[in-house]
């Protein structure tokens, strides 16, 4: 690898600035710490080589194996709603070596990651103070909700009647309820599909 390849290119730095000014700020993501986090992480390092030139477009990028990297605005809104703190013990449902993990890791005390398929299965009650799901779900499995400590927060995408929305929740009296917020295009995680129910 050459020194030129090790350094961010002028075009990628310009694309990152344009992402912040044209996608995040214009859509209400203005928290300085969110903008700083997204300015410091090279999004092009987390997409296939063939997609590096399109890393900063305002839509999801296919990663292969049925996965996609959500649009920058999705991750900006997720970070803003999560409001991560140094005291947080956080769990990311998604790629522990991916873009959202790189954004979150410096902002929390500890960050664990779990694959979406594994997140739907029973596990130890870890007492996480923050769970961020990198994708849209139809319902929050009880096994995952059990890993959230009392008073803990969850930020996710939520698929409702074919439309994805950003959603937030908090664990109160052992229960987690999700509150849908803005409609926004978020890649759907099939592992979190709701069970099929009878209809007449």
pLDDT at residue 198 tops 60: no
Tell me: pLDDT of 194 over 80.
no
Q: What is the pLDDT of residue 146?
A: 94
Query: What is the spatial distance between Cα 59 and Cα 44, in angstroms, rounded to a whole number?
Result: 14
The residue-averaged pLDDT of 96-114 equals: 97
Overall number of domains in the chain: 1
Residue 133 lies in a domain: yes
Q: What is the DSSP letter of 56?
A: T
From residue 24, alpha-carbon distances to 73, 149, 193 in Å are 6, 31, 29
Asked, for residue 195, whether it belongs to a domain, the answer is no
The pLDDT of residue 64 is 86
Q: Residue 12: inside a domain, yes or no?
A: yes
More confident residue, 126 or 127: 127
Contact residues for 169 (Cβ-Cβ < 8 A; gap 6+)? 140, 153, 154, 156, 176, 177, 178, 179
Contact 181, 156 (CB under 8 A): no
Tell me: pLDDT of 153 over 50. Answer: yes
The string of pLDDT tens digits covering residues 24-73 is 999 999 999 999 999 999 999 999 999 999 999 999 999 988 899 999 99
pLDDT, mean of residues 7-29: 87
pTM of the model: 0.90
CATH of the domain at 128: 3.40.50.150
Give the domain range for residue 68. Answer: 3-189
- Say if 58 falls within a structural domain: yes
- Does the pLDDT at position 139 exceed 50? yes
């Amino acid at each position: 690898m050459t020194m030129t390849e090790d350094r961010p290119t002028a075009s990628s730095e310009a694309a990152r600035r344009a992402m912040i000014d044209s996608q995040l700020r214009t859509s209400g993501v203005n928290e300085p710490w969110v903008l700083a986090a997204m300015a410091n992480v090279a999004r092009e390092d987390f997409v296939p080589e063939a997609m590096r030139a399109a890393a900063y477009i305002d839509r999801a990028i296919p990663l292969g194996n049925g996965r996609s990297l959500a649009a920058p605005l999705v991750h900006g809104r997720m970070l803003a709603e999560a409001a991560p703190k140094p005291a947080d013990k956080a769990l990311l449902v998604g790629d522990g070596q991916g873009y959202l993990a790189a954004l979150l890791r410096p902002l929390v005390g500890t960050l664990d990651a779990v694959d979406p398929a594994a997140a739907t299965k029973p596990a130890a009650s870890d007492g996480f103070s923050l769970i961020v799901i990198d994708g849209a779900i139809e319902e929050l499995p009880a096994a995952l909700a059990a890993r959230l400590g009392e008073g803990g927060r969850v930020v996710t995408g939520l698929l409702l009647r074919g439309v994805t929305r950003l959603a937030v929740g908090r664990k109160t009296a052992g229960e987690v309820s999700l509150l849908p917020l803005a409609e926004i295009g978020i890649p759907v995680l099939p592992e979190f599909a709701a069970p099929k129910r009878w209809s007449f």
